[in-house]
Structure 1
């Protein structure tokens, strides 16, 4: 009907629902869903409509429509499985496979199978297929499905929640501080079991392959196709039913909620050209994010400074760590072998990082040139493969400068053998080299800028980043045995406050809390567990009584009522609640638009329930409750209220 109208008249599509209807098991729609006829009818309508479309676009548009209805079928099958209606779910999947055998549809179906007992489901689907007459598309789709399942890694099983992680930093940045952070977080999540919730998008095979991580091959990123990349990311999120997205470096999907981890605000603080694509993407990621994390208090403050719509209280601080298995004092034998390998003969000062204005290397070279005993020292520079700037060479006459590219193990040995790490940076988002040097028993000379004091504390020698004379004095002081011993001891004590496991726990907790944002939790959160298998009249009366009691409470604007939806679909529960609130408006003149918040709880994993229960103040006892869910999530331990309660 609507297609016929659209052919002859202008049509307006209103995205907001104008009216609700109650869906029940005896309705005509429910009967069509249980048989899969709803999808079959849509497929027939697509075939009829194709002849009315412009020939240049008819095939393309019709194929896209078939694919869309295949997705609808898979989504409906999920809902049927949540209601324990296997027969209806099978009928939906079979009808969906009659629509499309596209790779996206097969991938979406595989995602569904990972969340259930797939072996039983596939047996039922095969039996159903033998009884029903399919078409060429469905037979092709089945073949592709089985082939894809054979190629799928055996451990690639989705666990709720599903978090898509874009490993784009490993492609763009290769070896950098940011990739070091993410590698350590992934390794910690493998150890503590959180990795089972992560799906890592491996950009062109550049991500580190770690046992225990689920990988999806993904195209390389290019700044010239940002919009297309966002669409592809959203498609992946949709296919895997992602609850959350997090990027290692400034990418975002279109609509899936995301988390932003701020490593620094260097471009904003230093005054770089923010019109470059990379920084525009960063700012888009910040604005798109539902939750913000920062690696230091200083970075959190800078984030809020440049994006004042973010409150400082909402930013979660998760400080970087140090790997004590790698970064620890090396033996004298290892240090001697390292120096021999690279031809280092004399004691040496160490510099880390690229040669740019922010790292402020020139201050060291100016100070070094002032040392009366400078010819007794060499200089080791790491983190940059370029030759020493001619301007800097003017300050090193008579001394050897080694420019080395070192892996972590050798970097730790280099720290251990150095007279000091000199790190005169003008700004840092964290300052990871400082922490690593301290862990190796290396004295640190640095500047009290940015987040550096948070990292180094009282365990470093501080100088002004503009004062070469002051740094020259520090280079002399650190040669004194008593000063060295004191600074080294303070550094080794300081690093014990930082660990990757602690950061991993903080970030993972933030990610889980982010998956609960749709519940709109407030200061006071109450929960009820309706038994939806009871007659509608009983459930409706009790829900109306609970909502009325909360809505008339003096603190109603600070309350969220959580309603579980076991053994009922989310859509049906939403429609049912809409009718209850409408009855309250009509019968009691009770407008709920100002509070309380009412949120449906659906398909949470165990780790999400654990996080959610910590935010719930009490459970309201109902006459007809879902005892199984209450026992499963151990909600018996919550404070319990009857309908008359006070917060």
Structure 2
């Protein structure tokens, strides 16, 4: 790419949550990689929540970093500002392209727009969302497909579903796989593993790990039931640790109430970012029996931490896991059978850990950034 030839791009990072969940990992990873592109001639402006401006200034020393109005920390205000304040800002900074990284975009931006649509499960798995959330995101996706000059998606599966279900124009969709930060997610040392077990109160005990949002689509209740069936009769049953933010899956509490008293199920909430390698890499198995994902960042992060992964072959997950993970179904009986097979086979778990770690190296934020830059060039053209 020739220096000085890149468009001036305004990236709206105001949708990044404080907990650095999925969209936070994506935006942080993308901006960090853009900052590493060096003399590529990139001309970036980033608008972010005021709590994030210092972070992004460190990542992108050559970019212009702006703080959004304080009110946009609240979602309704952010969505209103996106339609009015963001187009004004784009005009003020002379943006030639506006990138919106989380489904929505201004209806009248005054310049070409690119939007990231992270998944199509609001259409393929509608029963796993409450009505208001489903309605909002379905409308946002349809609007972005209609209004945006380019749409960026994290997997071929998501691209194919948008084309199949919504008649999206294939030539305007760019696939940019997510990456994984090898510094933040790495095979843990024994000390890192021990620190996490101590924090969780597990001592020297073994455990299975789940990390993610507690949404119905993640299938946590059936994971709990499958784990119970797989370990209840074992002499030294491993615990199940379900980490991540509180969600809106009411069935989880019901499944927890069915757990026999001699088994340990822990729900520690958010773990410190620095503890994630020890948590994932220290688990006997990282289990993620989702009904479908737009990408599946949690399984990639677990693979990067050399954890044996058990997931489902739904939507994008085989694109990420390939032959380096074990597959199951969403049914608790099948989860139990496949968990049992893994727990009884130390050699297979070790092989999956090594294969997953090697495969994770193929997913880099640098590659993702290159696809984004090419999409911005196409949008301007």
User: Shorter-chain TM-score: what band?
Assistant: 0.7 to 0.9
Question: C-alpha displacement at 1:184, in angstroms?
Answer: 0.7
Q: State the partner residue of 2:100.
A: 247
Q: State the partner residue of 2:310.
A: 445
Check if 1:433 corresponds to 2:319: no
Checking the alignment, whether the CA contact within 8 Å between 1:477 and 1:483 is kept in structure 2 is: no
Seen in structure 2, the aligned counterparts of structure 1 residues 473 and 225 have a Cα distance that, compared at 3 Å, is: closer
Question: C-alpha displacement at 1:225, in angstroms?
Answer: 7.9
Question: C-alpha displacement at 1:236, in angstroms?
Answer: 1.3
Partners of 1:209 and 1:225 in 2: CA distance: 19
**Is there any run of 5+ residues in structure 1 with no aligned partner, and where?**
1-157, 517-647
Checking the alignment, whether the CA contact within 8 Å between 2:308 and 2:352 is kept in structure 1 is: yes
Question: C-alpha displacement at 1:290, in angstroms?
Answer: 0.4
From 37, 54, 57, the equivalent of 1:210 is 57
Check if 1:320 corresponds to 2:178: yes
Q: State the partner residue of 2:339.
A: 475
Partners of 2:262 and 2:363 in 1: CA distance: 39
From 269, 273, 284, the equivalent of 1:419 is 284
Seen in structure 2, the aligned counterparts of structure 1 residues 269 and 326 have a Cα distance that, compared at 3 Å, is: same
Map 1:48-127; keep pairs closer than 5 Å: none
My pick for the range that moved more, 417-426 or 252-261, is 252-261
Map 1:78-227; keep pairs closer than 5 Å: 161-171=7-17, 174-193=19-38, 196-206=42-52, 208-211=55-58, 212=61, 213-219=63-69, 220-221=71-72, 222-223=75-76, 226=79
Partners of 2:41 and 2:214 in 1: CA distance: 36
Question: C-alpha displacement at 1:228, in angstroms?
Answer: 5.8
Partners of 1:206 and 1:160 in 2: CA distance: 25
Question: C-alpha displacement at 1:347, in angstroms?
Answer: 0.3
Q: Secondary structure at the match of 1:170?
A: coil
Show CA shifts across 1:326-355 (max 9, x none).
211111122112212321131000112222
From 236, 243, 246, the equivalent of 2:89 is 236
Check if 1:353 corresponds to 2:208: no
Partners of 2:121 and 2:175 in 1: CA distance: 17
From 225, 239, 244, the equivalent of 1:378 is 239
Question: C-alpha displacement at 1:292, in angstroms?
Answer: 1.4
Check if 1:263 corresponds to 2:118: yes
Partners of 2:172 and 2:225 in 1: CA distance: 43
Greater RCO between the two (CA within 8 Å, min separation 6)? 2
Show CA shifts across 1:524-554 (max 9, x none).
xxxxxxxxxxxxxxxxxxxxxxxxxxxxxxx
From 128, 150, 153, the equivalent of 1:291 is 150
Partners of 1:376 and 1:195 in 2: CA distance: 56
Seen in structure 2, the aligned counterparts of structure 1 residues 227 and 340 have a Cα distance that, compared at 3 Å, is: closer
Q: Secondary structure at the match of 2:46?
A: strand
Question: C-alpha displacement at 1:437, in angstroms?
Answer: 0.7
Q: State the partner residue of 1:393.
A: 257
Q: State the partner residue of 1:618.
A: none
Partners of 2:171 and 2:100 in 1: CA distance: 22
Q: Secondary structure at the match of 1:426?
A: coil
Checking the alignment, whether the CA contact within 8 Å between 2:115 and 2:151 is kept in structure 1 is: yes
Q: State the partner residue of 2:169.
A: 311
| CA root-mean-square deviation | 2.5
Q: Secondary structure at the match of 2:16?
A: helix
Show CA shifts across 1:374-394 (max 9, x none).
752111111124796143231
**Is there any run of 5+ residues in structure 2 with no aligned partner, and where?**
none
Show CA shifts across 1:43-65 (max 9, x none).
xxxxxxxxxxxxxxxxxxxxxxx
Checking the alignment, whether the CA contact within 8 Å between 2:177 and 2:363 is kept in structure 1 is: yes
Seen in structure 2, the aligned counterparts of structure 1 residues 326 and 482 have a Cα distance that, compared at 3 Å, is: same
Partners of 2:173 and 2:90 in 1: CA distance: 25
Question: C-alpha displacement at 1:400, in angstroms?
Answer: 1.9
Q: State the partner residue of 1:621.
A: none
Checking the alignment, whether the CA contact within 8 Å between 1:189 and 1:195 is kept in structure 2 is: no
Question: C-alpha displacement at 1:397, in angstroms?
Answer: 2.7
Runs of 4+ in 1 over 6 A off after TM superposition: none
Q: Secondary structure at the match of 1:376?
A: coil
Partners of 1:331 and 1:224 in 2: CA distance: 44
Q: Secondary structure at the match of 2:56?
A: coil
Q: Secondary structure at the match of 1:209?
A: helix
Check if 1:340 corresponds to 2:198: yes
Give the number of the structure whose alpha-carbon radius of gyration is greater: 1
Q: Secondary structure at the match of 2:217?
A: coil
